[in-house]
């Protein structure tokens, strides 16, 4: 069976042997082993991939930090109950007893926001929610885009035209504008049994927004694959359309799926922050990096770290995904090596 790169270039047999020879590997090695070897050589991509894994692990440990170390929840509005003297206080506090900046203690390690909520606790819980929304939205995008793209490219005809017009309508609107429109409507009315404050609501909105960005490239690749010899052979053997799509077409889309996943994930996390900042994403009392940035805007003169800290985490997370995703794309695209070998 032929195998294709993320860009739609097939590489198997002679091409794989050519790539293996160019990298000093045995000719019999497969394209996936070649891609893994190329990725391992990209130390920058691996480093940023490790950074992303670290961010995910730290955010998943939010309940542990909240209950065992900070002893406060992400939505708890806590004030210092005892009278204080500014001159003897170890850290600066507001007249209402809210720490203005980081205390570097187990509680209020990074200070508190304007409502007296622990910034460090909300940072971890917010990161967990942002990542959860990003992953769920990406899965929604990939599944629906694969269904629409494969169906459209394989059957063509009327269904292809209808699906393409649907994708064009979504693609015609800027992602943020479409997200705000859908997010506002669904946040007010919810989706069936889902309340408007459920984290699944912004995930569904973001997942719908990015469908065309994956479905159209998938359709283009399927249009090429359906004319290949191995698909014709499957038809002549009497295999059903469903069997051909699952056993012949989908395996050749694996590299495309792998390359698009981190790209959509990074954009989904970024769009969630933008929608939440505009009031159409994560709704109170849930926390996310977007809500922290939005809430911290009013306290910038006195406590700029309330915006800076979640902003840095958002940048590091998206940057690490994008750099690792670029490394994956380079590893799965053999065309550069083929050109050098020729």
Percent of the chain with pLDDT over 70: 79
The beta-carbon contacts of 93-101 under 8 Å, at least 24 apart in sequence, are 94/302, 100/302, 100/303, 101/303, 101/305
Assigned domain for 206 exists: yes
Assigned domain for 184 exists: yes
Assigned domain for 170 exists: yes
pLDDT band at 140 (very low <50, low <70, confident <90, very high): very high
pLDDT band at 78 (very low <50, low <70, confident <90, very high): low
| Pick from 154-158, 189-193, 318-322: least confident | 189-193
Assigned domain for 106 exists: no
Look at residue 93 in the predicted model and tell me its pLDDT. 61
What is the tally of structural domains in the chain?
Answer: 1
Q: Considering the chain, what is the average pLDDT of its residues? A: 82
**Residues 6 or more apart whose Cβ sits within 8 Å of residue 300:** 306, 307
Look at residue 127 in the predicted model and tell me its pLDDT. 95
Assigned domain for 295 exists: yes
Assigned domain for 152 exists: yes
Query: What is the Cβ-side half-sphere exposure of residue 79, based on CA atoms within 13 angstroms?
Result: 10
85 pLDDT above the threshold of 70: no
Query: Which CATH number fits the domain that encloses residue 173?
Result: 1.10.3720.10
Assigned domain for 103 exists: no
Domain span at residue 177 reads: 119-330
pTM, 2 dp: 0.83
Assigned domain for 110 exists: no
What is residue 10's three-state secondary structure?
Answer: strand
């Amino acid at each position: 069976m032929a195998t294709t790169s993320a860009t739609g270039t097939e590489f198997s047999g002679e091409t794989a042997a050519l790539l293996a020879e160019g990298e000093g590997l045995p000719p019999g090695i497969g394209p996936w082993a070649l891609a893994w070897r190329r990725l391992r050589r990209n130390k920058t991509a691996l480093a940023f991939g490790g950074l992303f894994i670290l961010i995910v692990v730290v955010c998943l440990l939010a309940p542990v930090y909240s209950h065992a170390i900070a002893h406060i929840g992400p939505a708890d509005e806590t004030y210092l109950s005892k009278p204080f003297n500014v001159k003897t206080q170890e850290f600066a506090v507001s007249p209402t007893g809210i720490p203005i900046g980081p205390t570097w203690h187990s509680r209020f390690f990074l200070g508190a926001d304007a409502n007296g909520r622990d910034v460090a606790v909300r940072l971890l819980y917010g990161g967990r929610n942002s990542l959860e929304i990003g992953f769920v939205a990406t899965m929604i995008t990939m599944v629906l885009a694969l269904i629409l793209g494969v169906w459209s490219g394989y059957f063509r005809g009327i269904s292809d035209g209808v699906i393409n017009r649907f994708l064009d309508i979504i693609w015609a609107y800027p992602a943020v504008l479409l997200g705000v429109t859908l997010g506002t409507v669904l946040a007010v009315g919810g989706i069936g049994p889902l309340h408007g404050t459920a984290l699944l609501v912004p995930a569904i909105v973001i997942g719908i927004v990015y469908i065309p960005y994956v479905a159209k490239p998938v359709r283009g690749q399927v249009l090429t694959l359906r004319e290949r010899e191995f698909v014709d052979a499957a038809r002549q053997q009497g295999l059903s359309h469903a069997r051909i799509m699952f056993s012949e077409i989908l395996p050749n889309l694996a590299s495309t799926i792998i390359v698009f996943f981190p790209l959509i994930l990074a954009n989904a996390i970024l769009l969630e922050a933008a929608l939440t900042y505009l009031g159409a994403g994560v709704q109170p009392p849930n926390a996310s990096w977007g809500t922290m940035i939005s809430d911290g805007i009013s306290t910038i003169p006195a406590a700029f770290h309330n915006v800076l800290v979640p902003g840095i985490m958002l940048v590091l997370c998206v940057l690490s995904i994008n750099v690792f995703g670029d490394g994956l794309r380079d590893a799965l695209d053999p065309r550069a090596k083929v050109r050098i070998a020729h």
